[in-house]
A and B are shown apart, each in its own frame.
Chain A
Amino acid sequence: MGSEMAETLVQIELKPPHGDWRDPHVEFRKGSICYSAAPKNLNALGLPNPRVWQPLDEDWKLPPDWKHIILDGMKERLDKYRSFRLFMDICVRCGACADKCHFYLGSSDPKNMPVARAEMMRSIYRRYFTLTGRIFGKLAGGRELTEDVIKEWFSYFYQCTECRRCSVFCPYGIDTAEITMMGRELLNLIGCNINWVLEPAANCFRVGNHLGIQPHGFKDSIDFAAEEAAEITGLDFEVPINRKGAEVLFVMPSADYFGTPHYYTLLGYLMLFREIGLDYTVSAYASEGGNFGLFSSHEMMKRLNAKIYEEAKRLGVKWILGGECGHMWRVLHQYMDTMNGPADFLDVPVSPITGTIFANARSTKMLHICEFTADLIHHGKLKLDPRRNDRWIATYHDSCNPARAMGLLEEPRSILKSVCNNFYEMPENTIREQTFCCGSGAGLGTDENLEMRLRGGFPRANAVKYVKEKHGVNLLTCICAIDKATLPTLLEYWVPGVEVAGVHELVGNALVMTGEKERVADLRGEPFPAEACAATTASEADHA
């Protein structure tokens, strides 16, 4: 798809809005839409109205009673979610959120202002569910629910990455992600879904991971990584799969074992676990930490997420460790325990190396690998040579969900500062809770949507460009699988010369393993800078 785009196609300008937002008509354009979900995927998941259609078609083949389905669905959700009802009611349209959305900044489409995105839903809410709206209609800000509105919803609820940046600035905490989630749930009821969400969900449901890699293929991938780690370090690696009685179940996003640069992060994990002698297992059944159910409906999220606890119980592990992934951690941190808990068959996570009791995960019993590693490094349990990462001048991209749904900000930074010597932050308004999305999250990271992704990723790329010009940054680190999959394309377009890596890739580079052979190249096979080869030094932290 990329080749179809002219070099100058994506021009960013901030234009004052024009027209009337209440006009629902949308022009669908290739490059800024995601294709519809294939019927086989809807069938696999038992979702309504499977059919062949595309957003570019005139006729979307909605079920005959689609309007009732939508309105009934809205009513049901208004009664089930305080967030939904409240966020429909209390917005004052102060506009604070307007220029906080990366899609608005990148597209200048006024309907991409978070408040406008929410008004698309609110106008229907007011017309059908409020007294003033039923009486005064348009004057009270109501709109008729027409097929055009459905198309508008489809367009704009699939032009939101549920990153929640707008919510940080909203005086009432109105969360557009919540509204987008409701919008997508409603669209799902009449079969308006996108393939990039439902195919991974269908694969994950039946086979266990997004790409539908079957257990033997999963084992091949893992074994391959283990062999590569062995080759790099000269040590033997064995990665147990579905092993009962291990202390820890490790769950990572599947991209870690089939995507690049994710793969180097996987090598990093494996080396870390080998070095500290962690008693762990991975699972071919729960071989996916990511959860595309989050991008379709709460039921789907629960269905996919259920495997993790089920597998932990079956294998009899004590606690669960989770890899680097953004939306996966939104689900694990904010939804898993509620949906599929209580995990009373597990123990509170305790680091077997440092003895640290992770009380912050005492109910869910699931730990983020950055919390785990940061604790190891803090206690001086790892021998690290940050000079091995000297070819990188790194910055750190806070992935939306760990930043705004957890507050996992310092753990990865403290790791980075121990494993690399050159680290610079991007401007304050673009990191931590104010971080800009990659523009491809929430199931939008597909190639047919490339123009919109490049537009949405512009604010992020712009901040990277700033530190590239100022400090010579050539590496963007992050802890999100979607980031790792989509930021390389984004940076290639906006900031050529900056690469993308997971935090644990740099850990893997810097980790001096006991008995390792003399390492001359990093995990990507690039030679270490000369001085790093000369000697290995202990980590900055004191050894206990």
Chain B
Amino acid sequence: MNALYSLLAVLALVLAGFAIGQSEPGRMVFMMAVPYAAFTALLVGFCWRVARWAFTPVPFHIPVTCGQQKSLPWIRSAKIDNPSTGWGVVSRMASEILLFRSLFRNNRARLSGERLILGESAGLWLCSLAFHWALLLILLRHLRLFLEPVPAFVNTLERLDGFFQIGVPPLYLSDVILGCALVWLLVRRFRDPALRYLSLFTDYFALFLLLAIAVTGILMRYFTRVDILGVKQFALSLAALRPAAPQALGTLFLCHLLLVCALASYLPFSKLMHMGGVFLSPTRNLANNSRSRRHINPWNAPVKTHTYAEWEEEFRDKMQAAGIPLEIENGVRDGRNARTN
């Protein structure tokens, strides 16, 4: 049901795009106002969420260690998976964020007779990594629409992306990878019973939305051949804060734009915030040095303890009978005579 609802929600967005495309004033208002609104929502929302996390204290030092600690000099420590220094943490975070280190460990448990077998399972790691890198590449490529002159690195990326020179215009590898990875992630959500059991509306919605954005983009580039100069003019006008909606960009472009705006404004309210959150995860971004450097808890809760004096008071007779040294010998309850040695 969640999958169906989210598919319907995305289709509704697409239809809205088409509908807006039909009415000229609507189209104008939409193209000039909605991108700004969405971008503002993204910026403000994203910062708000990240700031909220960042200003929430980390009371305890709780890294999850995934390798040998640094202890004795002759024992080789895992400098990245169990970092003890700031640079180690940077490496660990980089391996998490750029290479999805933890996901790479993934394995799959199955039962064969009475034996539990933990088999290799690289699919999730590979496809999510492929998806995220392809998405980044595509975003960077889009910079050529917003910047004039186009920065050299964008041109380089584009050349690399279209390296195989398949078709005209050349097929971007990132488009193919993104599409395939998204489909795989979606199919996985449908086919894996555990995931189907868990998945929420938002899980499918994000995938459908991204897929719809990819499809509209691909259609525009390879099939309907959108007027790329018109798009660029529009994008530049947006970037220059002097929005001017051109006439002939077609409904598909509108759909694409609407979907992107939907994604941008939805992002801060959704699980897609993992993009910012991953940097702040206290099980990953702290060095395992809690015994060599004291971690401070800003709200270190005052508690009632059971002091030695209270304890000795209760058990003094028994302790004395057993010959355990006391602070205050029996019968000498006066603190002045307390034995200190």
Contacts and interface: CB of A to CB of B under 8 A. Distances in A.
Nearest to A434: B105
Interface in B58-85: 58-72, 74-78, 81-82, 84
B333 interface: no
B66 A90 contact: no
Interface residues of B, number: 104
B194 A406 contact: no
B70 to A, nearest CB: 6
Nearest to A14: B111
A85 B102 CA distance: 21
A314 B308 contact: yes
B194 A284 contact: no
Interface in B141-166: none
Given A86-B281, A216-B318, A406 B69 contact: yes
A174 B110 CA distance: 24
Interface string A291-310: 00000001100110011001
Interface stretch (B12-20, B26-34, B219-227, B283-291): B283-291
Interface in A259-316: 284-285, 298-299, 302-303, 306-307, 310-311, 314
Interface in A133-177: 139-141, 164, 167-175
A131 interface: yes
A13 B111 contact: yes
Interface size class of A (residues with CB under 8 A): 35 or more
A interface SS class:
helix
A82 B280 contact: yes
Contact of B306 (A167, A169, A307, A338): A307
A200 interface: no
Given A99-B109, A338-B296, A92 B203 contact: yes
A83 B269 contact: no
Interface stretch (B49-57, B171-179, B244-252): B49-57
Interface string A65-103: 000000000000011111101100111111110111000
B288 A407 contact: yes
Interface stretch (B208-216, B232-240, B256-264, B271-279): B271-279
A408 B69 contact: yes
A509 B42 CA distance: 65
A12 B114 contact: yes
B72 A371 contact: yes
A355 interface: no
Contact of B65 (A83, A359, A407): A407
Given A16-B194, A115-B198, A173-B102, A46 B56 contact: no
Interface in A220-270: 220, 241-245
Contacts of B108: 99
For the complex of A and B, list the 4 residue pairs with the smallest distance between their C-beta atoms, beginning with the closest: A407-B69, A16-B193, A90-B277, A216-B322
10 contacts: A86-B282, A90-B271, A96-B102, A169-B103, A173-B282, A178-B62, A284-B319, A361-B292, A405-B62, A409-B69
Interface of A: 12-14, 16-19, 21, 46, 78-83, 85-86, 89-96, 98-100, 105, 110, 113, 115-116, 119, 130-132, 139-141, 164, 167-175, 178, 205-208, 214-216, 219-220, 241-245, 284-285, 298-299, 302-303, 306-307, 310-311, 314, 332-335, 337-339, 341-342, 356, 358-364, 366, 371, 374-375, 378, 403-411, 414, 427, 429-430, 432-434, 458-459, 462-463, 465-466
Given A174-B283, A363-B293, A429-B118, 13 more contacts: A14-B110, A21-B198, A86-B280, A139-B5, A168-B105, A171-B128, A172-B284, A302-B301, A307-B305, A360-B71, A363-B294, A374-B75, A430-B118
